[in-house]
Structure 1
């Protein structure tokens, strides 16, 4: 459990640093995943017994992963589109420079 917690904290820190220094247009999604993921991780660490016999911390943690997964993959899709458009712009600029010579 300790190794998993350390790895999760390191991963969240790496993503938080990257989100802090990048100019990515969808970095808000990354910030949402980092902050909400950190809070969700607390459910896994500070386990509590089932509330009224129905939902415990582990079940609540699993429930939080559903929207977080959607936001994460939405960021991944946006990142792929962003990187592809930047690459296409560079190729067009490079081709225009070659034609001008």
Structure 2
């Protein structure tokens, strides 16, 4: 069976791992340290979706407004469906 060539990656670094086996399928500068920035947002999004019920209403607390960096300008007591907050963090990082 012919082997598929690694994907073309325009990013400075990246890694593709088989989720079942943990085997690295492709890598580009994978050993270089990088800031986690959007990775944290994507993991937050993944965990939110896996938790289910994206229509569940979330009430913003005072503590929520102190998390840095906060560019969504949320206020304590405001309510939003999880889906709206998820879209907000994903669009904000785009």
Provide the TM-score with structure 2 as the length reference.
Answer: 0.38
Which structure has more RCO (C-alpha within 8 Å, separation ≥ 6)?
1
Which protein shows a greater Rg? 1
Specify which structure has the higher proportion of strand: 2
Provide the TM-score with structure 1 as the length reference.
Answer: 0.36
Specify which structure has the higher proportion of helix: 1
